[in-house]
Amino acid sequence: MRLSELATSQKGTITRVHGSGAFRKRIMEMGFVRGKNVEVIRNAPLLDPVEYRIMGYNVSLRRKEAWLVEVIPGEEYRIETEPYFTTGNSVQTPLNSIGNGKTINVALVGNPNSGKTSLFNQASGAHERTGNYSGVTIDARETTIHHKGFRINLTDLPGTYSITEYTPEELFVRTRLLEGKPDVVINVVDASNLERNLYLTTQLIEMNVRVIIALNMYDELQKSGARLNYDDLGSLMGTPVVPTVAVRGRGIIDLLNRVIEVFSGTDTVARPVRINYGKTVEASIEVLDTGIKKNGGAPDGMPSRYLAVKLLEGDRAVTSMLRSNPALASLPGLAGSERSMLAKSFGEEADSVMADARYGFIAGALAETMTPGKNAADRA
């Protein structure tokens, strides 16, 4: 959000200064630079000037000048101002030492246009690093945020509708989650299109990653007149839900606080939830899951149920991974016969039956927690 939008006595942290030339220089010389805390002393709506306290003294800015300064509300927020890779002798004084400098690796995952980049930019003050990973040309942007004494490494992964294997982006995200093993995944969802967006969430839940839902575009949800009990939705999905309006920086501090709670294991909502595929499919999953466990278990600490589900869906990446693993090479064949059995009994492929079950899980959770707004019909 903009500095001019902070109310009297609100505090904020500067993430970016817009404008150019003499104005920019002047305002920066006054101390309005990235990472600094600012407090509003007096902001009378529509009146100029607005009075601020920054770096220990009071200054007045015209409203339109203050509008050029981007801030995040809250003061317990410090942006990395040092190089991304700091050496042991760097001077970093956490605002609050509960984290003791511990690092939390966080990945941002979500559908295209869910607001991931906006969230990333607000959280990082748009001062990211771009990295290329091992022969892949898809970019993941990274930044480091200091919050409550924790060092939060945030990675913005490419937007995907699903985490299967249909596009290079999907495979990239999947590999980053399974092999990179982030401590916490922030799943950015478009609150105005939950049914669609939560599909990806069901896949994350199955991967056994620790997920927090950033219920983004919360402003749009409210505008539509829809009502959502997001705490209940979170409980049903075993996933904390934090409403955000990424473009305005709202909810970002809450989100970071929740990251710390989930990481520290003190969150009361986060728990493993199992998506139930119904008796027949569950029986096939069980066959494969048992097969994996009997043959030495899933490689790299991946959840065996996840592999069983993927095998049953005929996922090629998982199938070929298991084929090349001597202990588990018989599993794809076993999955093949389970698949044909399911196809016979349902009259459609197992993967469609399973996708339906995921949408059923979502529909069930939304039916209990959401009252659609007036625009719901347009979206259906």
CB of 108 to ligand GDP, least distance (A): 8
Judged by CB, which is closer to ligand GDP: 131, or 333?
131
Question: Rounded to the nearest 10 degrees, what angle do helices 350-369 and 304-312 cross at?
Answer: 120
Q: Are 241 and 213 in contact (CB under 8 A)?
A: yes
Nearest Cα neighbor of 309 from 188, 211, 163 is 163
List residues near ligand GDP by CB under 6 A. Answer: 110, 112-118, 159, 216-217, 219-220, 245-247
CA distance 338 to 336: 5
Cis-peptide, bond into residue 49, ω within 30° of zero: yes
CB of 46 to ligand GDP, least distance (A): 24
Judged by CB, which is closer to Mg ion: 139, or 261?
139
Q: Based on C-alpha coordinates, what's the Rg of the chain?
A: 24
CB of 172 to ligand GDP, least distance (A): 15
37 binds, among Mg ion, ligand GDP, none (CB under 5 to 8 A by kind): none
CB of 272 to ligand GDP, least distance (A): 26
Pick one of 15, 117, 124, 197: the residue that binds Mg ion (CB under 5 A). Answer: 117
| Sequence-ordered list of residues with C-beta below 8 angstroms from that of 213, at least 6 positions apart, any chain | 186, 187, 189, 201, 234, 237, 239, 240, 241, 242
Judged by CB, which is closer to ligand GDP: 112, or 131?
112
Judged by CB, which is closer to ligand GDP: 145, or 189?
189
Q: Is 83 strand, coil or helix? A: coil
Select from 95-103, 109-117, 133-141, 143-151 the region that touches Mg ion (CB under 5 A): 109-117
CA distance 287 to 348: 20
Q: Are 67 and 23 in contact (CB under 8 A)?
A: no
Q: Are 115 and 216 in contact (CB under 8 A)?
A: yes
Site string for Mg ion, 62-101 (x = CB under 5 A): ----------------------------------------
CB of 298 to ligand GDP, least distance (A): 31
CB of 113 to Mg ion, least distance (A): 8
Judged by CB, which is closer to ligand GDP: 159, or 332?
159
CA distance 241 to 212: 6
Q: Using the rule CB under 5 A, is 192 a contact of Mg ion?
A: no
Beta bridge partners, 37, equal 13
Structure tokens at 249: 């920086």
158 binds, among ligand GDP, Mg ion, none (CB under 5 to 8 A by kind): none
Contact residues for Mg ion, defined by CB under 5 A: 116-117
